[in-house]
Amino acid sequence: MKKKILLIASMVALLTATGIFVSCDDDGDGLGALGDIAEQCGLTCYTLEGDARADITGNASIDAFFDSVLTLKDAAVSLEASYRAELEGLAAALGVEGAAELSISDLKTEVMAKLEAKMSASVDGKLTLVLEPPKCEANLDIAVDAAAKCDAEVEPGKVEAKCEGSCEVNASASCEGSCSVSKPSFECSGECKGKCEATVAAECKGGCEGTCQMDFSAGGECGGTCKGECEGECSVEDGEGNCEGECDGECTGTCEIELTAEAKCEGKCEGSCNVEAGASCEGKCTGECTFDPGGAECEGSCKAEVSGECEGSCSGTAEPPKVKAECEASVNAKANANVECTPPQISLDFAWKAGVSADAKAEFEALLPTLKARFAAMIALSGLPVPGVKADGKVQILIGLFGDMVAAAGGAVEAAVSADISDPIDAFKLACGVAALPGAKTMLTDAQASVTAVLNIQVDLFTSIVGGSKSRAEW
Residues 210-232: pLDDT tens digits? 888 888 888 888 888 999 999 99
Length of the chain: 475
Residue 36 has pLDDT above 70, yes or no: no
**372 domain residue, yes or no:** yes
271 backbone dihedrals φ, ψ, rounded to 5°: 145, -130
Same domain for 393 and 265: no
Give pLDDT, residue 380: 94
- Top-ranked range on mean pLDDT: pick from 205-209, 235-239, 327-331, 366-370: 366-370
Return d(Cα 85, Cα 113) in angstroms, integer: 18
% of the chain beyond a pLDDT of 70: 67
Distance between CA 16 and CA 22 in Å, rounded?
A: 8
pLDDT at 18: 34
- Classify residue 44 as exposed, middle or buried by CB count within 10 Å of its CB (0-12, 13-18, 19+): middle
Residues 354 and 462 in one domain: yes
196 and 112 within one domain: no
User: Residues 185, 131: one domain?
Assistant: no
Q: Give 165's pLDDT tier (boundaries 50, 70, 90).
A: low
Q: For residues 305 and 242, which has the higher predicted lDDT (pLDDT)? A: 242
pLDDT band at 7 (very low <50, low <70, confident <90, very high): very low
101 in the same domain as 225: no
Q: Which of the 8 DSSP states describes residue 267?
A: S
Which pLDDT value is given to residue 268? 82
Residue 444's pLDDT is 93
Residue 414, sorted as left (phi over 0), alpha (psi -120 to 50) or beta, turns out to be alpha
Question: Within this chain, do residues 351 and 453 fall inside the same structural domain, yes or no?
Answer: yes
Position 3 in a domain: no
Which residue in 142, 164, 167 sits closest to 318, CA to CA?
A: 164
End-of-domain residue from the set 263, 291, 319: 291
In the chain, the percentage of residues whose pLDDT exceeds 90 is 36
pLDDT at 345 over 80: yes
Whether 122 is in a domain gets the answer yes
Q: Tell me the pLDDT tens digit for each residue of 408-448.
A: 876 656 655 665 667 777 888 888 888 888 889 899 999 99
Residue-range definition of the domain harbouring residue 251: 178-291
Higher pLDDT, 124 or 317: 124
> Does the residue 297 lie in any domain?
no
The verdict on residue 21 lying in a domain is no
Asked if residue 200 belongs to a domain, the reply is yes
The total number of structural domains that make up the chain: 2
Same domain, 371 and 462: yes
Give the model's confidence band at 457: pLDDT under 50 very low, under 70 low, under 90 confident, else very high.
Answer: very high
Taking residues 317-339, what's their average pLDDT? 84
Instruction: Judge if 280 and 386 occupy the same domain.
Output: no
pLDDT (average), residues 183-205: 58
> Is 31 among the domain residues?
no
If asked whether residues 376 and 458 sit together in one domain, one would say yes
| pLDDT band per the 50, 70, 90 thresholds, residue 14 | very low
- Is position 301 within any domain? no
Q: Looking at the DSSP assignment, which residues form a beta bridge with residue 258?
A: 211
- Asked whether residue 41 carries a pLDDT value surpassing 70, the answer given is no
pLDDT at 99 over 60: yes
Mean pLDDT across the chain:
78
* Residue 201 pLDDT exceeds 50: yes
Instruction: Report if pTM > 0.85.
Output: no
Question: 323 pLDDT exceeds 50?
Answer: yes
**pLDDT confidence of residue 24:** 46
